[in-house]
Amino acid sequence: MVTDLRSNYTSPAGKEFTFAAARFAGINPSSHVLDMGCGYGDGACNLASEFRCKVTACDISAENIEFAHQLAVERNVSHLIDFHTVDLLSGAFQEKSFELTLAEGGVLSFISRRKGLSLASSLLSARGWMAFSDLILLSDKVPDEILNIFEHDKYHYETEHSFRKLIAEAGMEVHFMSLVPPSGWDNYYAHMARRLEDSKGFFADKRIKLAFHREIDVFYRLEGFKHVGYLFCIARRKK
């Protein structure tokens, strides 16, 4: 069931998960948060609006950053957010520390989960918090058509068990972990369906339209939610 028609998140984990991470971390107006892959800016804007904290929002896509900055202006929080078009692994933020690092929308899959978790941990202040959401496999018998849709051969998705090992390797301990409910997937695909009507930008590409239409079809027709899930985790740096 679609529960949030206004969702602009590029993953099944929506603003409730962003807020949960911030509340675990005790985010307040004196806090500084790093959004490691801000996408269209909903997460960064929600944090700035709700907690009045400072946010450093990064994305490798200049188009995403432009969209996110405009959203921040419209929501009157642009003065609280610094936007950067940057490769996260470039070391651009090595001299900074954050009370919370966010890696929403599967950004860890794109930059390498081990490297991404290690980076997030290294940028935290002492006993700081990290939260992420990412696709995982729920079993070892996932139909090939579903695996192919999510490009498992390219991203080699983790399981909950293997993710826990990676988190420990990065010097963090899990405080909360759960799967995003079905409504999160419905909100995400409703958002994607709206974007597929775009006549310019990323979603205007016919190949992108075809790929997402096929993903939506396979996910619901083959009940993909029985085989893949979206994991949300809140972890804390051990020292």
Q: Where are the domains of the chain?
A: 15-137+154-180+230-237
Predicted pLDDT of residue 220: 93
- Topology adopted by domain 15-137+154-180+230-237: Rossmann fold (3.40.50)
pTM: 0.92
Radius of gyration of the chain (CA): 17
| Residue 1: partners with Cβ closer than 8 Å, 6 or more residues away | 182, 183, 186
Binned average pLDDT, 10 residues per bin, the chain of 239 residues: 79 93 98 95 96 96 94 97 92 82 93 95 95 94 92 93 97 97 91 86 86 91 93 95
Helices and strands per DSSP (H, E), number in the chain: 10, 7
Structure tokens at 158: 């983790």
DSSP class of residue 97 equals -
